[in-house]
A and B are shown apart, each in its own frame.
Chain A
C-alpha cells in the first residue's frame, strides 16, 4: 500500500483516502445491485454477486499487500494508526457468533443474554489498563515471546505455545462453521463446498501478506459488516420508534413489549395451546415412568381405534388415518421412549413468555441466585478471556507507539460498541414486531417472510396450528436464534439486496476472525516453536515461508474438524475463553505488575490454572459423561472462575518460595513500564 520511504503522516493520509474511496465504492456497489434487483435480477444472482465480489475484494487487498519481510509479516511493520487498528481489532474480535448469534440469544433469553454483551465489551478495559501499552513497549512478535523473555526459559514458551494454539484452534473451528453456513445459505452450495470457498478467501489473504494483509483486509471487512448490521436496524427503528437511531429510544418499545407479553400470558387461546403442551408433556413423562405397560396400552389403543372404525363402517378417509396411526406407532419400546422423551420436553413450551427485561428468573430465591451466579460467571470468564486471547493481544503489537496502543484500545471498543449496543435493540424491535404482527395473524395469510423461512429450515422457524383455530399463537411458534439477524431485512420489509448485504456482513465477520486466529496459530508454530525452540539459525525467508505453509496446514486441519460438525459450538467458544482466562491472564499481568513473579511461579501457576479449568470442564460437562455435581451450581463453561484465582494464588505462593528473577528480567519489567526511558539499555523491540 505504500513504500517504507513514506513518512508516517503521509501514510496515514493515504490510508484515509483509500478507505474513503473504498467505502464510497462499496455503497455504489450496493446501489448498483439494488437497481439491478428492481430491473429483475434474481435472488440467487444477488447472493452470488455479494459472495464473490466481497471475497474477490478481500483477496485483492491480500494480493496488494503481500510481503516477505518479517516485521511486515508478523506485525504489519508496526505502523498501523490507532483508529485503523481499532477497526481491524473490531473485525478480528466480532465473529459469526457476535454478528448472527448475539441478537438471537438476546431475543430468546432477554436480560440473561446480556451477559455476553457485557462480557465481550468490558474485557477491553482490562486489555487497556493491564496489557496493551506494556506489550506494545515490549514489542516482539507473539505472546509466548513475552512470556519467554519475562520468565526466561523454553518451558514457559512451550506452555505459551500450547495454550495459544488450544484457545485459537477451538475458536477457529466455530468460525469456519459459520463461514460454511453463510456461504451455503447465500448461494445454495453444499455446506462442505461452502467451507472451502470461504477458506480460499481466508488463505489468499492471510498467506500472502501475514499480519499486514490481515490488518488491511480486516479494516475493509469491518466497514462491510457495520454497514450490513446497521441498515436493517435503522429501518426497523424508523418503523417502530420513529427515529433512525432506535438504540436510544427502544426503552419505550421494551415497555410496550412488556404489555404485549402480559396480554399473551393472559390470553385464553394462548393458555389453551400451552395446556395442550403441558398435557402432552405429562403424558410423555407418565409413559417414561412405566415404559412396557405404556407401550402395550398405546399399541392396543390405536389398534382398537382402527377396529372400531372398521366395525362401525366409518368413512374411508377416517379408516385410512387410523391405519396410518397404527403404521406410525413405534416398532419397539426403545423407539417409543425416544418419542416420549421428545413429548416430555414440550414442557418448556407450556410456560408463558418470560418478561424480556426480567433479571435472573427462577422459581425461588435460591434458583434466582444460582442464575445470578451463572450470569456473573459468564461475564467474568468472557472479560478475562478477552484480555488473554492471543489473536487480540497481538493486534496491539502493530501500532507505531505505546501512546497509539492506548488510543487504539479505545477505538477498538468504540468500533465494537457500535454493534454490541445495537444487538439488544435489534432483539427487542424484532420481538415486538413478531409479537404484534405474526402472533394473532391467521394461518391463511402468514407474512411472506415467515412462510418462506419456515420452508427453508424448520429449525430456524416452525409454526404449527396446535389448537386448530386458524390463528397463530405465540406458543405455536418455534424460533431458532440465528433467524433474527438473517431475517430482519425481510421482517422490516426491505428489498432482497439488504438480505444479501447482511449475509455478506456475516461472512466478513466470520472470515476476519478466522484470518486472525489462523495467523496466531501459524505464528506460534513457526516463530515460537520452530525458530525459537528448534532452529534459531533459520533465515528470515525460511521463517516466513514456514509460517505460510503452516497456515495452510492449520486451515485445512480446522476445515476437516469443522466438517465433522463437533457438538455445541457455543460451549466450545466459551471454553476457549475460560481456558485463556485461566492460563494466560494471571502470568501476563503479574509479569508486568509484580517484579518478584518468578519462572517457576509462572510455570506452576499456568499449569494449576489450566489444570483446574480442564478438570472442572471434563468432570462436569455432559459431553464427557462423568457429570459430577456442580460447585455452587456454576456451569462448566465458566470454569475460568475457578482457574483464574487458583492460577494467581499459585504464582504468588510459588514465586515467594523460589529465588527472585535475575537482574536482567527486573530491568525488562522496568523497561516495559515506561513508554520511553532515557538511557535505557534494554532493547526488546524486534525489527
Chain B
C-alpha cells in the first residue's frame, strides 16, 4: 500500500525518540565508564563513589526508565497517528 505523509511523519518521530533515548543510553554507559576514575574521585552519592554507584545501580535504573518511557511515548504516538492496535483487554 501507499504510505501517507502522516505515516512518514510517525516514522520520523519514532526515529527521533529512538535516537534521543539511544543517546541517553550511550552517555550513561560509555561516557560514564570513560570518566569512571574522575567520577569516583570527584564525589560520593549515598556513600558510594559516583562511578561505582552508576555502574552498580544508577545506570541500571536509567535503563529501566528509558524502556518504560519508550513504551509510554510510543503508545501515545500510535494512538495519535491512528496506527495503534486498539484496546486488547
Cross-chain contact B51 with A359 (CB below 8 angstroms):
yes
Query: Given A248-B46, A254-B48, A358-B40, do A121 and B60 touch, yes or no (CB 8 Å)?
Result: yes
Cross-chain contact B36 with A111 (CB below 8 angstroms):
yes
Cross-chain contact B10 with A406 (CB below 8 angstroms):
no
Cβ contacts B21-33/A at 8 Å (1 or 0 each): 1100100011001
Counting CB contacts under 8 A, is A252 at the interface? yes
Cβ contacts A110-131/B at 8 Å (1 or 0 each): 0100110110011011101110
Counting CB contacts under 8 A, is B85 at the interface? yes
Measured CA separation A674–B9 after assembly (Å): 12
Counting CB contacts under 8 A, is B56 at the interface? yes
Cross-chain contact B67 with A128 (CB below 8 angstroms):
yes
Cross-chain contact A114 with B85 (CB below 8 angstroms):
no
Counting CB contacts under 8 A, is B57 at the interface? yes
Cross-chain contact A676 with B85 (CB below 8 angstroms):
yes
Cross-chain contact A128 with B71 (CB below 8 angstroms):
yes
Q: Name B57's contact: one of A128, A255, A421 (CB within 8 Å).
A: A421
Chain A residues contacting B21 (CB-CB under 8 Å) are 125, 129
Measured CA separation A383–B48 after assembly (Å): 25
Q: Which of A22-30, A368-376, A453-461 lies on the face that meets chain B?
A: A368-376
Q: Name B34's contact: one of A253, A372, A675 (CB within 8 Å).
A: A372
Measured CA separation A63–B46 after assembly (Å): 49
Measured CA separation A402–B86 after assembly (Å): 11
Query: Given A114-B55, A251-B45, do A402 and B85 touch, yes or no (CB 8 Å)?
Result: yes
Cross-chain contact B46 with A117 (CB below 8 angstroms):
no
Q: Which of A310-318, A412-420, A517-525 lies on the face that meets chain B?
A: A412-420
Query: Given A125-B21, A251-B45, do A674 and B83 touch, yes or no (CB 8 Å)?
Result: yes
Cβ contacts A1-20/B at 8 Å (1 or 0 each): 00000001100100000000
Of the listed residues A372, A674, A680, the one surrounded by the most CB atoms of chain B closer than 10 A to its CB is A674
Q: Interface range on chain A: under 10, 10 to 19, 20 to 34, or 35 or more?
A: 35 or more
Query: Given A114-B52, A358-B40, A674-B83, do A681 and B66 touch, yes or no (CB 8 Å)?
Result: no
Measured CA separation A126–B29 after assembly (Å): 12
Query: Given A676-B85, A678-B82, do A420 and B7 touch, yes or no (CB 8 Å)?
Result: no
Q: Name A254's contact: one of B36, B37, B52, B70 (CB within 8 Å).
A: B52
Interface residues of A in 181-224 (CB under 8 A from B): none
Cβ contacts A372-408/B at 8 Å (1 or 0 each): 1001100110010000000000000000111110110
Query: Given A129-B22, A675-B78, A676-B86, do A117 and B64 touch, yes or no (CB 8 Å)?
Result: no
Cross-chain contact A410 with B85 (CB below 8 angstroms):
no
Total count of chain B residues near the partner, CB < 8 A: 49
Counting CB contacts under 8 A, is B89 at the interface? yes
Q: Name B63's contact: one of A121, A360, A670, A675 (CB within 8 Å).
A: A121
Chain B residues contacting A675 (CB-CB under 8 Å) are 78, 83-85
Cross-chain contact B29 with A403 (CB below 8 angstroms):
no
Chain B, interface SS category: helix
Q: Name B88's contact: one of A401, A421, A424, A674 (CB within 8 Å).
A: A401
Chain B residues contacting A126 (CB-CB under 8 Å) are 25
Q: Name B33's contact: one of A247, A254, A358, A372 (CB within 8 Å).
A: A372
Counting CB contacts under 8 A, is A56 at the interface? no
Chain A residues contacting B18 (CB-CB under 8 Å) are 129-130
Cross-chain contact B37 with A360 (CB below 8 angstroms):
yes
Cross-chain contact A379 with B29 (CB below 8 angstroms):
yes
Counting CB contacts under 8 A, is A409 at the interface? yes
Counting CB contacts under 8 A, is A673 at the interface? yes
Chain B residues contacting A115 (CB-CB under 8 Å) are 55
Chain A residues contacting B7 (CB-CB under 8 Å) are 674, 677
Measured CA separation A641–B35 after assembly (Å): 20
Measured CA separation A117–B58 after assembly (Å): 12
Chain A residues contacting B52 (CB-CB under 8 Å) are 111, 114, 254, 357, 359
Chain A residues contacting B44 (CB-CB under 8 Å) are 251, 255
CB distance from A673 to the nearest CB of B (A): 6
Cross-chain contact B63 with A406 (CB below 8 angstroms):
no
Chain A residues contacting B14 (CB-CB under 8 Å) are 673
**19 cross-chain CB contacts under 8 A:** A111-B40, A117-B60, A121-B60, A125-B67, A130-B18, A251-B48, A357-B48, A359-B40, A372-B33, A372-B34, A383-B29, A403-B75, A403-B78, A404-B88, A406-B71, A413-B63, A421-B56, A674-B7, A674-B83
Closest 4 CB pairs of A and B: A251-B47, A251-B48, A114-B55, A359-B36
Given contacts A121-B60, A125-B25, A410-B67, 7 further A-B contacts (CB under 8 A): A124-B63, A253-B47, A357-B48, A403-B75, A406-B71, A413-B63, A674-B83
